[in-house]
Amino acid sequence: MPRFAYTARDRSGHPVAAALEAPSRKDVLRILAARGLQPMRVSEESAGGLRAPVNGQPARAGAFSLSSSRSVRLTRAHRLPFLQALHDLTTSGLSAGEAIRLLSQRLKDPALNQLCTHLWERISEGAPL
């Protein structure tokens, strides 16, 4: 079973750092919530410690990783319309998660669609935006 390292805050706001075994990241988040902890960071550990960055390289600015083998480069021409659409949806009353889910269904640009789909998957697992 995978082992996850986490940093969280307890009910009084004090930081707690530890590790636990669980089938998935989603299960870790459920366990932490049941313990009354607010997760700040959860990462899966490999046999030798925390997982390495994608391809052994740190992430580039403007790139995000969709899986361990692919990353998509977003240009300013991609980012600005995405952020404007996200802003419009959130100011009209949608939560950030729902706005991203809606954008993932409606965007035609493959890079932006992949970005929204990936963000929605992470948010639905409990990761912060």
Comparing CA positions, the residue from 112, 118, 114, 59 lying closest to residue 86 is 112
Query: Is residue 38's pLDDT more than 60?
Result: yes
- Could you tell me the CA-to-CA distances from 122 to 29, 52, 94 in Å, in that order? 12, 18, 18
Phi, psi at 37, each rounded to 5°: -105, 140
Q: pLDDT tens, 40-93? A: 888 888 755 544 443 344 444 444 444 434 566 777 877 888 888 889 998 898
CB atoms within 10 A of CB 37: 18
Q: pLDDT tens, 106-129? A: 888 888 888 888 888 887 777 777
Taking the complete model, does pTM exceed 0.85, yes or no?
A: no
What's residue 122's pLDDT? 81
What's residue 71's pLDDT? 60
